[in-house]
Structure 1
Amino acid sequence: MDPSLKDEVSETLVTPLSSAPDLASKALTGWRAWCMIGAITGSTFLNVYIYGALTVAVPSIGRDLNFTQPDLPWPVQAFNLTYGCFLLLAGRLADKYGRRNIFMMGTGWYTLLSIPPIFCPEPISFISLMALLGIGAAMMTSSGIGIVGGTLEGKLKNRAIAIVGGGQGIGFGLGLVSAGFFCDLHRGWRWIFVLQAGLGAIFMLLAFASVPAEGQRYDRALDLPGASLCVTSLLLLTFSLSHSQNVGWQVPYIPVLFVLSLILLATFIYWEYISEKRGNSVLLNVRMFKDKKLCAFFTLMFSMWWNFNVLQYLSTVYFQNVQGLSPVQTAIRFIPEAIADFVVNVSTGWWVEHIPAQWLNLFGIATSMTASVLFAIINPAVSFWQNAFWVTVLMTGADTIYTVGNLYVLTSMDAKSQALAGGLFLTFTRLATSTGLAVSSAVATAVSQHSPLARNLLRGYHAAGWVCFAMSCVGLAVNVGALWMLGMLVPVERKEL
């Protein structure tokens, strides 16, 4: 085998869980480590905060900026498009040019571009800025997870991943609640971005003071053809899936773009495979997917993140379209979810040190299955505390799998590819969300027969809830059949500073 190919394979192929990645010689500890965890958690918080805020604020933004009805979904979709499509590339750039550098660049980008939306006069500029914000979010997220994977070790690393995951729940909840109250003010939605820019500046300063430069970097050339194929295929795939929720699959360009995205994705995989054989650098070493447990974990993550995000979406439209609640009332009903999400994530950081991974996975699957069934039979005549409350709380059990999965993928990849590992993990979660929403929306629309009546919409939402239950069953089968002997995910400790 060509020596350069051997180097490339050794940099990204999975390693046993019993051995930690070959990271920097000493792990970061103490107050600086916790400040760094706070900065990275803050970046994750911001990425999800804007999603929660836009979920509530889009109608107010649309009225103020004169959006047409078909254009209302575009602010959220534009952000999700660029965020999901650039995660993998951002991860590789962080590994090559410095995770600290890319994290600071992404945080600065996100903070500065949170200011112009305050002054936007019309829809096109606002949608464009949301798309640009998504790129900054991708840079922050992939590099942030890479920093945790490459800088921390042992129990502190476990807890850092869990806390970063918990930031998502708090961010989404605060985004919903703050947007609900801001939108009651005259043009108050603009305060969403004032708050976002202020928090971004704080987290950027915290990162500047605490995030160290890594000792090892990916030292091969950047695979530009592979990067172009990857971003383009994911962009078309995500667009076709998300936009199908608005216009349906009968519009000709949706299935055309979907098929084209799959062709480009297959071309990307083939290009990476051929480049590996020739000893050239690659964006993603596709040979890693020969590891059956790694593939099983990605399948588990896909099914559970489908379940979690679709249930979250279905709960939102159920509160508003079936129960007729206002944005503020809807936001308040998600407060228990935000609290439960944070508690589950942080608790998992401790549980993972004492409980085998397959049992933590089983806990997340069981709670998700229960939440899916409860939503599939939800009754709007019953009080919130008797059914919807339990749906919003139990769906957060899937976050145990977020922490376990993140730790598994980070531990499975080389020290020089930690940000790429984070980007790959998150790309799968974004694809799961886009696919799940597209399929569930199609099912709900078909069952409700396109009727706007609340009782017909409810039947469609019930059907989508059963689809979520089916995906939970897929996760259960994968966990029992392929991951049952996973064991403990506690990496070897390194010497402290």
Structure 2
Amino acid sequence: MQRNPWSTLAVIAVAQFMVVLDVTIVNVALPDIQRDLGFSASGLQWVVSAYTLLFGGFLLLGGRAADLLGRRRVFVVGLVLFGLTSLIAGLAQNPEQLVVMRAIQGLSGALLSPAAFAILTVTFKHGRERNIAMGVWGGLAGLGGTLGVIAGGLLVDSLSWRWVFLVNVPIALVLAAIVPLFVGESKITPTGTRTFDVAGALLSTAGLLAIVLGVIRAEPLGWSSVEVIALLAGGVALLAAFVRVESRSAAPLVPLSLFRSRGLSTSIVALALNGAAFLAMFFLTAIFLQQVRGLTALETGLQFLPMGIAAIASAVIASQLVTRFGTKPVQFGGAALSVLGLVLLSGADATGSYALTILPGLVLFGMGIIAVGTPASIAAVADVSHDQAGAASGVVNAGYQVGGALGLAAITTLATSHVEGLVSGGAGQQEALVGGFERGLMIAAVFAAVNIVMALGAPRLRPTSEQLAEAAVAA
């Protein structure tokens, strides 16, 4: 059955739009979720971290499963699971239920996203049409992130926080029903034994979860507690076992030979730091705007909107600049803008003017993170062989997600600890929250500042039009 490739693109792009939307739509609902379900200040971050950790941890396994079992089949499974977990998350009655569903939702995203991207690459041949398709794909992803905060605010204020999850249900079900009409099946035929490297995915994800939990538990228990030390040591041991498994696997999820590429190695660190700074900023600012400045969820979303517009504009400008000057100077400039934006934003208080104390920081940060992400994504795959390009892209995306989860855990734990210290010292609740917000953003600025150093060690490349299209998707 002959299918129109642009109809195929429309279906998979809407699905990817839903997944990206889900990352940002939740942030503006966090204060309502915390109040309704009784989350602790440190536990609330799991609403975000559970999703990003499982998404990043199983992203490569999802791509492998799509290639071997059938891309359309895995795409539909991911859609149905995403819709089901969204339904249960929207009906959750306690923190544990919501966090578990967010984790499984992340797993379903790890099935859906790589399958969708693989469908795109086999539907469009190399050249102008694929570049256009990738541009549409990347543009919708960026639009999803920007509109998520507005949609989340509308749903929370007009209905309830539960609808930021329930809205996914009809979209996922309709897409799953029409996929066979518009998307053809495809998969690769393995030359040897079909292997998925499930052990690698489980070890890496379990190790990262243990480290994140250890960082979070350090706030109430102290870094020297037996539980915290055991979690951190256990996480490191699991990750060491993961490296050992990958080095011996006939078909590893992460070919260790990839890390011989300086561009890939520096890009993974840069994008992980980018993810850490972005998720922490988004999390802390969403809570600050509602709990300190007294905004509604919709007003909070509208205040984030200029950052999204700046990010979209930065994607266009950064692509032009890397073509003219190369990746290295653009990445350096983007990192500097990110630091400046976070430092400016950290000076916001409960009563200051939005235009003077919040808007400049958001705009500069929105421009900076994309100006880091675009050249880093290009450098990551520039000197990787064609047959490993898919694995390299998956490692880069996983690095961004996992870096975001780890950074969010570290930064919010330290910010929460500072708030509790101020309260115990006699400060008022609002004053303490402002202090915690400032501390968290300054730590995020340190993460972003390390990216300036990473830019100095990154290669300087002038990308082709195809590399620019691929970077638009990855960034």
Taking the aligned partners of 1:446 and 1:130, their CA distance within structure 2 comes to: 25
Structure 1 position 208, deviation (Å): 4.5
CA distance in 1 between counterparts of 2:9 and 2:217 reads 35
Between 341-350 and 91-100, the greater mean CA deviation after superposition: 341-350
* Structure 1 residue 424 corresponds to structure 2 residue 395: yes
Q: 1:74-97 CA deviation, whole Å, 9 max, x = no partner?
A: 444433342232112212222333
Partner Cα distance (1:379, 1:60) in 2: 21
The 1:442–1:136 alpha-carbon spacing in structure 2 relative to 1, beyond 3 Å, is closer
Aligned AA (1:142):
P
Farther off after superposition, 431-440 or 320-329: 320-329
Matches within 5 A, 1:209-228: 209-214=181-186, 216=188, 219-220=191-192, 221-222=194-195, 223-228=197-202
Q: State the one-letter code of the partner of 1:304.
A: N
Aligned residue in 2 for 1:439: 410
| Correspondence 1:47 to 2:19 | yes
Q: Provide the C-alpha distance between the structure 1 equivalents of 2:131 and 2:401, rounded to a whole number of angstroms.
A: 23
What is aligned with 1:399? 370
Alpha-carbon separation, structure 2, partners of 1:217 and 1:352: 38
Closer/same/farther in 2, CA of residues 417 and 251 from structure 1, 3 Å limit: same
Per-residue deviation, 1:260: 0.7
Q: Is 1:490–2:465 an aligned residue pair? A: yes
Partner deviation per Cα, 1:218-273 (whole Å, 9 max, x = no partner) = 54532343343233323333444456568764664333222211111111112222
Residue type at the aligned position of 1:50: D
Output the amino acid matched with 2:454: V
1:5 maps to: none
Q: Which residue of 2 aligns with 1:378?
A: 348
Structure 1 unmatched runs, 5+: 1-30
User: Out of 197, 220, 230, which is 2:169 matched to?
Assistant: 197
User: Does residue 236 of structure 2 align to residue 262 of structure 1?
Assistant: yes
**Post-superposition CA distance 1:467-486 (Å, at most 9, x none):** 33333332222223332x22
Q: Is the 8 A contact 2:271 2:399 kept in 1?
A: yes
Of 227, 252, 273 in structure 1, the residue corresponding to residue 247 of structure 2 is 273
**Contact residue 169 and residue 337 of structure 1 kept, 8 A:** no
* Residue 303 of structure 1, aligned match among 267, 273, 276: 273
Q: Distance in 1 between matches of 2:56 and 2:140?
A: 18
What is the identity, as a one-letter code, of the residue corresponding to 2:463? Answer: M
Offset, 1:176: 3.0
> Is 1:459 equivalent to 2:430 in the alignment?
no
Q: How big is the shift at 1:428?
A: 0.7
Paired residue for 2:473?
none
Task: Check 1:114–1:305 CA distance in 2 against 1; reply closer, same or farther (3 A cut).
Answer: closer
Following superposition, the deviation at residue 429 of structure 1 comes to 0.8
Cα offset for 1:139?
A: 1.0
- TM-aligned CA distance change 1:179 to 1:113, over 3 Å: same
Give the AA of the match of 1:481: G
Unaligned ranges ≥5, structure 2: 424-428, 469-475
Task: Show the 5 A alignment for 1:53-452.
Answer: 53-61=25-33, 67=38, 69=40, 72-120=44-92, 124-148=96-120, 152=124, 153-154=126-127, 157=130, 160-161=133-134, 163-185=136-158, 188-204=160-176, 208-214=180-186, 216=188, 219-220=191-192, 221-222=194-195, 223-241=197-215, 249=223, 252-275=226-249, 280-345=250-315, 356-397=326-367, 398-409=369-380, 413=384, 419-445=390-416, 447-448=418-419, 450-452=421-423
Q: Distance in 1 between matches of 2:467 and 2:438?
A: 46
Q: 2:84 & 2:436 partners in 1: Cα distance?
A: 41
Distance 2:201 2:92 in 1: 32
Does 258-267 or 395-404 show the bigger shift? 395-404
Distance between the aligned counterparts of 1:171 and 1:265, measured in 2? 33
- Return the alpha-carbon distance in structure 2 between the equivalents of residues 334 and 41 of structure 1: 24
Q: Cα deviation per residue 1:344-387 (whole Å; 9 max; x = unaligned)? A: 34565666666633344234223212212212333544311123
For 2:346 and 2:98, locate their aligned partners in 1 and report how far apart those are by CA, in whole Å.
36
Partner in structure 2 of residue 18 of structure 1: none
Contact 1:408/1:489 (CA < 8 Å) preserved in 2?
A: no
Aligned partners of 2:28 and 2:286 also within 8 Å: no
Paired residue type of 2:442: W
User: Residue 254 of structure 1: SS of its match in structure 2?
Assistant: helix
Measured after TM superposition, the shift of residue 164 of structure 1 is: 3.9
Tell me which amino acid in the other structure corresponds to 2:227.
Y
TM-score, length basis structure 2: 0.81
Structure 1-normalised TM-score? 0.78
Give the structure with the larger helix fraction.
Answer: 2
Q: Which amino acid aligns with 1:57?
A: A
Does the 8 Å contact 2:81/2:108 carry over to 1? yes
- Count matched residues: 456
Report the counterpart of residue 426 of structure 2 in structure 1.
Answer: none
**Partner letter of residue 309 of structure 2?**
I
With over 3 angstroms needed to count, the CA separation of the structure-2 counterparts of 1:76 and 1:387, relative to structure 1, is same
Taking the aligned partners of 1:324 and 1:492, their CA distance within structure 2 comes to 44
Counterpart Cα distance in 2 of 1:238 and 1:155 = 43
Conservation of the 8 A alpha-carbon contact between 2:268 and 2:380: no
Tell me how far apart the structure 2 counterparts of residues 351 and 213 of structure 1 sit (CA, whole Å).
Answer: 39
Q: After the TM superposition, which of the residue ranges 82-91 and 262-271 deviates more from structure 2?
A: 82-91
**Does the aligned pair in 2 maintain the 1:146–1:420 contact within 8 Å?**
no
Partners of 1:38 and 1:47 in 2: CA distance: 14
Q: Aligned partners of 1:399, 1:217: CA distance in 2, in Å?
A: 37
C-alpha distance 323-426 of structure 1, shift in aligned 2 (>3 A)? same
Mapped partners of 1:304, 1:292: distance in 2: 18
Question: Which stretch has the larger CA shift, 409-418 or 195-204?
Answer: 409-418
Q: CA deviation at 1:335?
A: 1.9
